[in-house]
Structure 1
């Protein structure tokens, strides 16, 4: 009997650490065993500033995980949005033979990948590698070269890398988790968690509104072709509220979560009074929901306008797209996507189809008892880590049904043959 497996999926952000533990049964069904969120401490602007505080947070997360799973026997993927990430496009070629053509096998393809990865070991570390296309004998373009005959094989890859630095969060995470742990970039994991293969192939833009920054990731032909970071995020919305209303950051965050809205001007908003504490934590103050919404709207519109510039700059390279935009549209992700009525502002800014992306809106496998996380944009990256494991194992949940169907028709065919 096939043993059940457990997957530990952690996403380390600048504001929260999100953790999921998913179990796989012998029938290849998946169930959420644990979900846990802890406030990040010891990280500032993507770098480790207080090792002791950060270690305490991770120890708390690990303690929660080990209530239902052992790290040593689980498959672990840890993603992070802390660091400086880049999208690199590189080409490499290997010569198989000067004379007689030789078959291309998996080893040849792996040699290409390893040669490319070796080039980035000093200043940057590759965390994701995407094959754009392969070129056989400098002329024939293919997407899967295995078992083909060739004298040479070249490849074009897109890599997502993280810059090496003294305060690297990734280095600290590597020291904390078992050696077999896989590491990923949060925004790429989030895309894997919410995009379908068709969306990645035809072209889609994912805008991830994080705490410290906002990322813009554009996919086309199955790979990310643009990755940009805007140094503005929900933290800046909170700071605006704190400054204008003369209150603490914690109180400003509470106002955003409980009363925040991305649009203003509603009649009911003007009439709705909101009470909050002043900067000293004691003085009672009031504002209206309309005034609070104006503060929130101004910063969010600025962020989305900057994202639109990146989007239009990239789509202008595709003559067939024009004003229609990418076929997959724009998808909002990250914790900031939860701000009420943000979708209305995004549609007005982009003048293109926009939706909120979650694991539940994708075509990924079902996870039992996970209703509270699969519709939550905050968990997109952690769930994307789960998708990466499934993809790596090439697990196909529908395969069992397909085999059963084929078996039925085979039996029917045999019966009919026996009649004659």
Structure 2
């Protein structure tokens, strides 16, 4: 029986363990902290609890004369803990039922075939390995002068312990985490300032879609500071002072630091394993294989983009390849990138600019959110759907959307993209009515298909 050792118990590691067991391998999963990883305990689950609460409250606004403006923070904190614990327990049960051996320890390579396991009790032991999958995830980046203190200088980890609503929040960072928490706090009526050192907010998003989100935040009263690198953030005792590199200062009650993430490789001792690593993360091929053929790396530890769906897709492919089974390369998987702000941002495949840069002759099909009856029924009619289509053969190349439940619309289109669908295929789609899937029909009908 083939043996697979997986280091890291986050979404990628758990997926790899369950897939390995399903395919008949002897599986050992090593996790140094809490099963579920940072995604469950510090980032994804907590943020989605907060965002789900905001969505539930705002969904009721059109129907209530005096809708509640904010949820109780104590209730939110309890909900975060309950969801994290439930998810971790669910994963533990699934691993146990699959026959996966779970070891709670820090794993370090002593050579390419030997791991040293260090336990919280202080003792250690060695483990000889056949195949190894690295899934240690990523950790937030903090710089000198830009470090959280858990009180007024916040980071995602601190949100599960937030005891008071900020009087004025300064968000430092224009990526996905910054976008989601700016959306949440501004929805909750917290005066918010948004700062990024880049020319644009949400730089990975399709430019028109990102600009639409920024406009929505500005309309909500968010103060925007693009092209504004931060020199330092200080807790003054009664508030925070954020000093920009050009000398300007911003005052608030709290600052939230979300300037990026990096692959977490520090404790693995990869030099001893002979595994190549760059600043982006562990170097892998299109099957997740590192410079050592028996060692694979999946998810955030293999570099950006840092998304769970991509990590889980990598996990399944890497396991199959490690076991010698027929496996498509990772480039055939086209994951959706999503931002759970209000309005949501979602995209898949090529953007309009990317397609033109590649020399493709394209059509761009569009539909506005208010063309769907469902959008009017739920009271969210602002948004846009863009389809990028190859003008020569009608094949769908990519899609992007901004709007309420945009992720669900793009999810459907990701399957169409994966299947090589054309405008002719989309023209034959008959989604349930009324749904936001009607937006796809509206875009295709606009071009006479």
| TM-score between both structures, scaled by the size of structure 2 | 0.26
| TM-score between both structures, scaled by the size of structure 1 | 0.27
Higher helix proportion (structure 1 or 2) = 1
